[in-house]
Amino acid sequence: MKNNREPSLDDLAVFLAVCKAGGFRAAATRLGMSPSNVSDTIARIETMLGVPLLTRNTRSVVPTEAGQALAARLTPLFAATRAALHDVVDAGREVQGLLKLNVAGAVMVDILPPLIDRFLAAYPAVQVEVVVDDRFVDAIADGCTAGIRYGERLAQDMIAVPIGPRYQQLALAAAPAYLARRGHPAHPRDLLDHDCIRMRFSSGALTAWEFEHAGERVTIDPPSRLTIGVEAAPAAISLACAGHGMICTFGNWLAPHFASGELVPVLPDWWQQFDGPRLYFPSRLMPATLRAFIDLIAQADDSPPTAR
């Protein structure tokens, strides 16, 4: 019969520690308790609730169905409690420490640098390290505070925050002199007969040229007269401005060159729109440097747009 008493938060913390450690002894070591005290605590909770929470055998301790459900409900509550306590402790303290970001090279052209500039100015005691890596990697496992990626599938315990424009476009462009010499393509497939400037990821893969219009989607793999690594994208754009071929890349990178007349939009009705980059990080307790950076991103989103 269920006891009218309810387990204390301390007892429930012991239960979560056993679930995470997979055993009484390992949990006891983490908690600085004796294994017998941990076992007694679990027995006390089960008596109060009137249901078994853990299945014990000689090799391991695993949650029952009821134990799994309880742990799933308690874990985010305890994480939020730790975060609240951390915020109280940090209130009034100067934000300091290292913010280490693993980012796709695309955000280093015009999205991330202005944010880092504002962040460093606002928090003089922080240090920032940026690891530029276009591979799909586990940035957190590699020791980074957070990562920035486009469309990467994230683990369930990750939170993703938009950073920069909500949407971007894959734009096609060429210099006026090139178009005067070679003509305008009427369809993406016509690019197969043009000189093209391609960019290559560090993984070795070429960036995709994808187009969409009126329900038709086309992926083109045009011959590359000039191939440049994505980390040298500004050089590729400069060579396109010099008339060496078509280039297909982020529309926000090309916008200043459209404004100056160095480049002309090509097949704009076919430009594909995609989600902008996202900052991702674990849902567990975050360091003060990351929290401050996220707050700065939110302030940037609330500010009025500026002309490029």
Q: What is the CATH number of the domain that holds 140?
A: 3.40.190.10
155 and 292 co-located in one domain? yes
What does the alpha-carbon distance between residue 187 and residue 171 come to, in Å, rounded to a whole number?
A: 14
Same domain for 155 and 285, yes or no, is yes
Per the CB < 8 A criterion, the answer to whether 190 and 298 are in contact is: no
Collapsing DSSP states into helix, strand and coil, what is residue 117? helix
Model pLDDT, residue 123: 94
Question: How far apart are alpha carbons 182 and 177 in whole angstroms?
Answer: 9
Which CATH number fits the domain that encloses residue 233?
A: 3.40.190.290
Residues 59 and 32 in one domain: yes
CB under 8 Å to 8, separation ≥6 — which residues? none
Within a domain: residue 217? yes
Distance, in Å, from the CA atom of 163 to the CA atom of 26, rounded to the nearest integer, reads: 40
Is pTM beyond 0.85? Reply is: no
Report yes or no on 2 lying in a domain.
Answer: no
Q: In terms of domains, do 151 and 247 share one?
A: no
Domain span at residue 252?
167-274
Read off the pLDDT of residues 207-241 as tens digits, 9 standing for 90 and up: 999 999 999 999 999 999 999 988 889 999 999 99
Rounded Cα gap, residues 206 and 156, in angstroms: 30
**pLDDT band at residue 252 using 50, 70 and 90 as cut-offs:** very high
What does the alpha-carbon distance between residue 34 and residue 301 come to, in Å, rounded to a whole number? 51
**What's the domain count of the chain?**
3
Same domain, 179 and 200: yes
Q: Are residues 132 and 35 in the same domain?
A: no
Which of 90, 124, 148 terminates a domain? The answer is 90
pLDDT (tens digit per residue) in 91-150: 556 788 999 999 988 898 889 999 999 999 999 999 999 998 877 666 666 778 999 988
CATH of the domain at 48: 1.10.10.10
